[in-house]
Chains A and B, each alone.
Chain A
Amino acid sequence: MQRSILALVVLLAVLLVLPFALDRYMLSVMILILYFAFVGQAWNVMMGFCGQLSLGHALYVGLGAYTSAALYQHFELIPWVGMIAAVLVCVAAASIIGWLAFRFGIGGTYFALLTIAFAEFTRIGFEHFDWVGGTAGFFLRVTQQSRMDVLNLRGDPIMFYYLALALAVAGFLLSAWLLRGRLGFYFRAIRDNEEAARAAGVNVFRYKMYAVQISGGMTALAGVFFAFYYNNLFPEQIFHISRSIEIILAPIIGGIGTLFGPVLGAAVLTLASEGINAALEALGHEIPGVKQILYGVALGLSIMFMPHGIWPGIARRLGFTRARDDSDA
């Protein structure tokens, strides 16, 4: 345990000074990695800790993004306040989905399909929601990048780097705190055997609701970040099922239910994707689709041969965990 904390401190120190050593392109890659690490962490709370498979997390990214962006654009509300509204909206959405699912006993595959249905329903809804641009998209006021305006989140990519880093660190610490605490034990009890947890006196409905609400609220923050970093929102892109899938890849490849899995998975996948891009560019094979084929093959192979992700094996080798409690790393 001591060694892993030391490693974390070193990693954080490196990440804090890293932007000064990176060019603009690498900085954008790092921002992506941190973003996916955070949003993967958020998804992991629900699936990795509590065993509720959501395939519709793009819903919370989109709702969070649109809420904060609309408040900023229409009411001049600064994103730091909009953020709170975004979290509230997403917790409400998560509560509705969770209540419907858990009250009526929907689990497993059916729950996953329910989350897809809600995300798709909302996507089509926003395509016809003219107040936020509909299919034509919703654009935030862009100002000179040289002017750093932290209050309105307008400015240089370096600011967004530190924002993403703060999110990733906060997400990590929240997950670590959840895992060590009472809540984490209830979550894992439900994940491993719902009936046994119920028999042992765990209020299964309440704790599943907490998992969904925490996960949805965290993902809302990722949505706010997305909106102010990219400055444009299209329902077709932000709510699309391919976005939901993107979110869950990092924790699955990295190691589902672990703390480091989402971080490691985000780094591996983003770097692999950028690496494939660069390699194809160098070879002159810029046919659309080739990259996704390689990506798909890599994904299939990794799930085939490393069903528990990359992290558990590494953790054991580094001596961070004993072999038997992988999932608590």
Chain B
Amino acid sequence: MAEGCTRLEIERQKLRVHSSLEQPKTPEDLRARQLRARDLLRGDLEGADLDAYVEERVVTSTLEKVLNTARANSIFPATFGLACCAIEMMSTVSPRYDIARFGAEAFRASPRQADLLILSGRVSIKMAPVVRRIYDQMLEPKWAISMGACSSSGGMFSNYAVVQGADKFMPVDVHVPGCPPRPEALLYGFNKLQEKIRGNPTPGWRSRYNAHGTEEWARGGPASKPSEEALEAYEKAREVLGA
């Protein structure tokens, strides 16, 4: 490949599944498996054979984890566009960016059937009660992504008509920066939300700024309580500012 070329060279590799459910290598192998499955169904498998068969095929987990995994991988966003960010939101559904890879391609036209509200654009103070009502109409469990600078902080609309950040009137799980964010950015934010739903959100800036424990939980989770380090950092900042 020429120097500075933007194209990538792709090495083709055979995909290998590293689990006990490895693909059978030969037709004989496959046949042996089929026979064992038939024996199990007939009730012919006993003792060590049965144990080995079960161990090969069963994964144990907690109910919560399974539920959360299922929820994270089948989110139904609400069809709800506010402004120009909605154009980017629409293109995330298109085959080029394809939010269907993460199981959220079915945008529901009713908030009653939706899990996720993407605030795609500026929220004017006249629209705020409407957005809040739509959010309240969604059934639990529900999440919200604030997409773009305007719905996160008011953005360039620092004026009398626009709410300075949608989290003033409703809980927001993920803020996606950008004006407007590219579809990839929205997908990244969506992946962050999935991690949050699965129960292990990445600390992100909190690890850099020593602010573990300052997370705010809208519902469910542990009570919001700043950590020792965060409190110390806060006091130090207050001293520096002389407040």
A binds B: no
